[in-house]
Amino acid sequence: MKKLQGKNILITGGASGIGKIMARIALEKGANVIIWDLNRRNIEKTIGDLKGLGVIYGGCVDVSNIENVKMAAEEVKKNMGVVDVLINNAGIVVGKYFADHSITDIQSVMSVNSNAPMYVTLEFLGDMLNQNSGHICNIASSAGFITNPKMSVYAASKWAVIGWSDSLRLEMQQMNKNVKVTTIMPYYINTGMFDGVKSIIPILDPEKTAATIIKAIESDKKMLSISRSLYFFARLGQAILPISVLDYIAGGILGIYKTMDNFVGRKK
């Protein structure tokens, strides 16, 4: 997707964090933006903050609810037309040992992080295929390629996103369709979602991260890890090192396995 000007871009989780920043950047590039979010107050504030930059439309949508997604998608198509770029950004985390999770915790995290991107994509993929153009960007996580205590279900949900997202990319290639798929795997981002996390590896700046994601869409990146050094360490380590050695480096030296010890998360 070389140019975003004039394109319709839908961002889930678009009323806060990097979703809101990406919405602003897209508007600055001349795109028409649709934001979906569960927080109506944040939607109204975001639209108020950004409406001077261009066309922005918002919907209060529970992306884990299939019927809600279907209704909202019809509304978008009616009001805005075909979605050219879809950014599946909405996500939640429960930061505690798996033994302390409730069934509701598990269902919520897997529904929002893993199932919802597929629900939303299915609603807009048909139009992209019909016009033989489009771009789907799925925000996964570095937790999708390296395991970590106190985020087992979150990690599971992001491993699922990576597997589905890159499989979808290959399907578009096999179908000879000009629909691009980008999988983004960021490290912790300083947006409030992971408040309390302490890390030797630098926590990502939201503005720079959002700009990097938009650039990845514009340049048709297939897969991007932010931070690349962690990605290469994890992939290489998983390939050649005994698990005990990998655990020692990741947990003992880099401190990755302790990053969630003081997690508090975003205040509601």
Catalytic residue ranges: 154
DSSP symbol at 167: H
Sequential DSSP letters for 51-101 = GGGS-EEEEE--TT-HHHHHHHHHHHHHHH---SEEEE-------S-GGG-
How far is Cα 142 from Cα 112, in angstroms, rounded to an integer?
17
How far is Cα 119 from Cα 64, in angstroms, rounded to an integer?
8
Q: Among candidates 23, 90, 97, 93, which has minimal Cα distance to 63?
A: 90
Q: What residues pair up with 224 in beta bridges, in sequence order? A: 184
CB 224 within 8 A of CB 183: yes
How far is Cα 194 from Cα 170, in angstroms, rounded to an integer?
32
Structure tokens at 149: 């205590």
Structure tokens at 182: 């980008």
CA distance to 58, 89, 130, 242, 252, per residue, from 247 (Å): 44, 30, 47, 9, 7
Give the type of residue at 229.
S
